Structure 1
Amino acid sequence: MNTEHEYFISVDVETSGPIPGICSLLSIGACVIGHPIEHFYIELQPLNLHYDPEALAVTGFNLHTQIIRGIAPEEAMEQFGHWISSVTSTRVKPIFVGFNAVFDWSFINYYFHVYLGHNPFGFTAVDIKSLYMGVTGCHWQETKSSHIDTRFNIKNPGSHNALDDALYQAEMFMKIRENI
């Protein structure tokens, strides 16, 4: 799966809403595609108490609880950046992989730039939904995870826990790639 110069990392986030900086990144889950034992999970303190009720309901997080148990965003991004470095090398480019990657990548990119000054993924991201469209020739509305699960017999459904969902996405990505 991972070539000499590319290393695919499945990333999922849970947030308090749709807009980085206004809404908060609450958790990050990631795993190396093809090596799920190499994984990362962290919960963050919210930036503020702004939230979209529907988004927060999906996550199951309570912002007041996250203030206490979450890690400060700068420390969380340092830990995530260190983990990315630990599973890659200077010769390998980490490639961000996500299901609806534009959403997850926007938060990761924002937080990395604000707190570390750079994003280890750069501008590299693979969207699983788009990959699936390209492989199957299906329409956008057919890129729902339930359609992909059925087609490839994926047994590990997402749960809105960032690590569980990153592992689920990794399995989905691998099965789609096997059909290219």
Structure 2
Amino acid sequence: MPEIYVSTDCETDGPIPGPNSMLSFASAAFTADKKLVSTFSANLDLLPGATGDPKTMEFWRSQPKAWEACRTDTRPPEVVMTEYVAWLRSLPGKPVFVGYPVAFDFLFVYWYLIRFAGESPFSHSALDIKTMAMVMLGKPYRDATKRNMPSRWFDETPHTHVALDDAIGQGQLFCNMLAELRSVKR
């Protein structure tokens, strides 16, 4: 069964799930050859008792279009995460979570999957684009940032802080990096 790379981006109102809520998330499923197979996107209701982190909410005040996009048509997390599991299972391959930074996005998605769907089709595994860049560039981890990555790795997809836009853009980045890595390994 081939791997399907599920590039995922979350928009949240703080740094950790539970005290803070995942506002929106989206996944773009790619084959290794950069074919976009399917997408999933949802805006979620806030967690009961959770509050927005002051620093994070300050960021959102500077992004009114993105804030509006992630607060439109919100739905209960238990409904969304159950649908997400079904979507992941419908993909034509084994899903591999891909994120930038993976430690943040996977933390939220995994927590929500376990809390509201009772399972994670990703298991405990997630692939970090930044770590991959560190290895490919031969730079220290903290220097493996987008501004230090070669332009050939990027498509012209804008980073908008709208989860689906950002999931697609980082999925394209990952596939471009993977293609280059595989061409060097041959």
Show the counterpart of 1:23.
20
Q: 1:55 to 1:37 in 2, by over 3 A?
A: farther
Paired residue secondary structure (2:67): coil
Structure 2 residue ranges without an equivalent (≥5): 182-186
Measure the CA separation in 1 of the matches of 2:136 and 2:54: 35
- 1:22-171 aligned at under 5 Å gives the runs 22-33=19-30, 34-36=34-36, 38-48=38-48, 49-56=50-57, 57-58=59-60, 60-61=66-67, 66=71, 69-88=73-92, 92-148=93-149, 150=151, 152-171=153-172
Instruction: Describe the superposition over 1:61-96 as per-residue Cα deviations: whole angstroms up to 9, x where unpaired.
Output: 37xx94x831001001011111111213xxx42100
Which of structure 1's runs of 4+ aligned residues deviate more than 6 A? none
2:154 and 2:173 in contact (8 A); partners too: no
1:148 and 1:172 in contact (8 A); partners too: no
Measure the CA separation in 2 of the matches of 1:76 and 1:69: 12
Paired residue secondary structure (2:97): strand
| Letter in structure 1 aligned against 2:159 | G
Alignment size in residue pairs: 171
Pairwise CA distance, 1:28: 1.1
Instruction: Describe the superposition over 1:8-67 as per-residue Cα deviations: whole angstroms up to 9, x where unpaired.
Output: 1111110111111111011111111223251111100010450123323346437xx94x
Q: 1:74 to 1:6 in 2, by over 3 A?
A: same
| Letter in structure 2 aligned against 1:86 | S
Measure the CA separation in 1 of the matches of 2:6 and 2:13: 23
TM-score, L = length of structure 2: 0.83
Q: 1:98 to 1:23 in 2, by over 3 A?
A: same
TM-score, L = length of structure 1: 0.85
Paired residue secondary structure (2:8): strand
Identity of aligned residues (%): 30
Paired residue secondary structure (1:69): coil
1:149 and 1:155 in contact (8 A); partners too: no
1:30 and 1:41 in contact (8 A); partners too: yes
